[in-house]
Amino acid sequence: MRDRRYAHPFRDLRAKLRQAASVCVLSGAGMSAESGIPTFRDAQTGLWANLDPMQLASEAGFRADPQRVWDWYQMRRDGVRQAEPNAGHVALARYAARHPGRLTILTQNVDDLHQRAAAQTGEGARIVALHGSILTDRWLDACPRGEDLMRRPCEPSRAEPGHPPRCPDCGNRLRPGVVWFGESLDYRDLTAAEEAASACDVMLVVGTSGAVWPAAGLAARARHAGAHVVILNTQVSEIDDEAHIVLTGSAATLLPRLLDPL
Ligand code: OAD
């Protein structure tokens, strides 16, 4: 705990979360770390500690070595499928189910653990997946059939198995449905996230380094719009200055403490 202005931070925050009309969570890889999914920038254990993001998470990297990148994503997909939501995901889902329509989760994570926790525990939150989904595919290039208004673009499910799978007609390759470096976020998702950040009473920023924009800017947006901003992280983050209070600890420990009924 680094902020001495709050003598009873958990009691005060729990009261704020009970009374809030609108709560936003901005989550990052630390949210899923206790489910066994590696983060990106943690020293030693983060994926980018030993791997080059430009080779594995950019369109140029994919075009340079599609098999390597495809196989790396397949390996990560297997890890996501085997993972389970942790106590932090569950606490959020339970809070949302108790307060339908109050919680919006803006996640940078490409796993589906927020969604699965909601399906298992209770719907009620709106979930915006800012960086897409690792469990979906899309075409690398625009489908040539889509240029003809009379024809529908090919479905990615038509692709023939391979590393990566290819369209049997034109050879177009599948790529994972995530946002890579140098790519724009989906406009509707970003707009929804900005609106939610601007309208919330409390924002919980959970397990993100705050190194990747525009997602990192959502904390400042919430703060400038008048929200109470709380960072939950095991380490310092690049956006700690945007927070009214920083809670040092893990997502699976802190979120139940903040959100579960006593
Ligand atoms: P990072 O790997 O950059 O940061 C993870 C953060 O989680 C760090 O600040 C850790 O201190 C913190 N952390 C680790 N374990 C934790 C735990 N158990 N509880 C709470 N906090 C914990 O991940 P992101 O900020 O999500 O992009 O990275 C942003 C984006 O960069 C990702 O979405 C990804 C990556 O390249 C795409 O996939 C497009």
Residues 128-141 pLDDT 10s:
999 999 999 999 99
What is the model's pLDDT at position 42?
A: 87
- Which residues, 6 or more positions from 183, have their beta carbon under 8 angstroms from its beta carbon? 59
pLDDT in tens, 6-35: 667 889 999 999 999 999 999 999 999 999
For residues 104-141, one letter each, b for 16 or more C-beta atoms within 10 angstroms of the residue's C-beta and e for the rest, the string is: bbbbbbbbbbbbbbbeebbebbbbbbbbbbbeebebbe
What is d(CA 215, CA 200) in angstroms, rounded to the nearest whole number?
A: 16
**Res 4: pLDDT:** 47
Task: Tell me if 205 CB under 6 Å of ligand 1.
Answer: no
Residue 28 alpha carbon to ligand 1 centre in Å = 5
Q: What is the pLDDT at residue 148?
A: 73
Ligand 1 atom at minimal distance to the Cα of residue 39 = 2
pLDDT at 54 over 50: yes
CB of 250 shorter than 6 A to ligand 1: yes
Determine whether the shortest distance from the Cβ of 103 to ligand 1 is under 6 A.
Answer: no
Catalytic residue among 89, 114, 131, 228, which? Answer: 131
| Residue pointed to by tokens 């998702």 | 189
| Residue 175 CA to its chain's centroid (Å) | 19
Backbone angles phi, psi at 17, to 5 degrees: -70, -30
How confident is the model over 153-202, as pLDDT tens digits? Answer: 888 998 999 999 999 988 999 999 999 999 999 999 999 999 999 999 99
Q: Does the pLDDT of residue 80 top 80, yes or no?
A: yes
Q: Is the confidence at residue 256, as pLDDT, over 60? A: yes
CA of 38 to the centre of ligand 1 (A): 9
Nearest CA to ligand 1 atom 33: 108
Convert the pLDDT of each residue in 228-238 to its tens digit: 999 999 999 99
Residue 118 pLDDT grade (very low, low, confident, very high; cuts 50, 70, 90): very high
| Centroid of ligand 1 to alpha carbon of 209 (angstroms) | 5
**Atom in ligand 1 nearest the alpha carbon of residue 131:** 39
Binding site membership of 208 for ligand 1 (Cβ less than 6 Å):
yes
Judge whether 131 counts as a catalytic residue: yes
Q: What is the pLDDT of residues 95-107, one digit of tens each?
A: 999 999 999 999 9
Distance 53 CA to ligand 1 centre (A): 14
**What mean pLDDT is predicted for residues 219-247?**
97
The pLDDT tens digits of the residues spanning 190-214 come to 999 999 999 999 999 999 999 999 9
In angstroms, what CA-CA distances link 131 with 79, 180, 260? 18, 8, 28
DSSP state of 154: P
39 in ligand 1 pocket by Cβ < 6 Å?
A: yes
Average pLDDT, the chain: 94
> What's the pLDDT at 2?
54
Q: Please state, for a pLDDT cut of 90, what percent of the chain lies above it.
A: 84
> If you average pLDDT over residues 235-251, what whole number do you get?
96
What is the CA(195)–ligand 1 centre distance, in A?
A: 23
Amino acid at 140: L
